[in-house]
Structure 1
Amino acid sequence: MLRHIAESEPLRPGVLAVRLSVEACPVTRQLRQLEQAGHVVRVPDPEDRRAQRAQLTEAGLDAVERMREVRRRGMEAALATWSPEDLGRPAGLFAGSSTTSSGTPRSRSAAAPRPYARHGDLITGAG
């Protein structure tokens, strides 16, 4: 949840719930716990004075950075025994994903669908 908040502007709890594909109630409870831990503060929504958005504090940003570092070290440990050839194989596979199975270039829309599309006030995974 912290990562989702860190990677965007302050979010309404409902928008965060949609991004996480969960109901709003658990998000609200989790945000309350994160707020009590000092990782999140609620800020006014500039578009609706009745609503609030969740924003990371310095402590929240530090926590996100620690999580990224743990993931990075875990990936380094997992790949430590891979040969240079093995390490190059996934890169080649990803580089080839810009073409179709027949080798023709994919159109931009087919190769990279938008991760989020606006639907009213909510952001969904539809593209």
Structure 2
Amino acid sequence: MLTRTLQQLASGLSMIALTTLGPIALSASAQTSLPLEVADQHPLVKAFKPCVSAVGLERDLPLANPVPDLSGPGHLYQLNDVGRIRDGYRHSLYVSENGKQIYIVQIGGFAGTKKIFGPLNPKLHCHSSVKKPKKT
């Protein structure tokens, strides 16, 4: 009896989470309606790929404030994949059509959060960013 009650409670909590978080996830993904491109040889992808990994940022980057609308003309390039990390982060590089606006979009982690970093300077890349200290 107790097991069945716990299963019903867990099922109910799952439904609440889906109905509450679903619209939030949809509104976040709708903001970047560009198709994700894989272009490992693109110079900006090569330059910003070392900034990220499946466990998060490898460099300190500024959070975009205000959050930009990234649904306009431009490109969204894949920087990394999560691999075998269950709650890993996927990072994409948004480059505006004229190449003057560059942002890194981070999606993933626990509950699939979304953060946008930038604007980033295409001339500085992530090599000039501050390296994050290793946790001990």
TM-score (norm 2): 0.25
Bigger fraction of residues in helix: 1
Larger Rg: 1
TM-score (norm 1): 0.27
Bigger fraction of residues in strand: 2
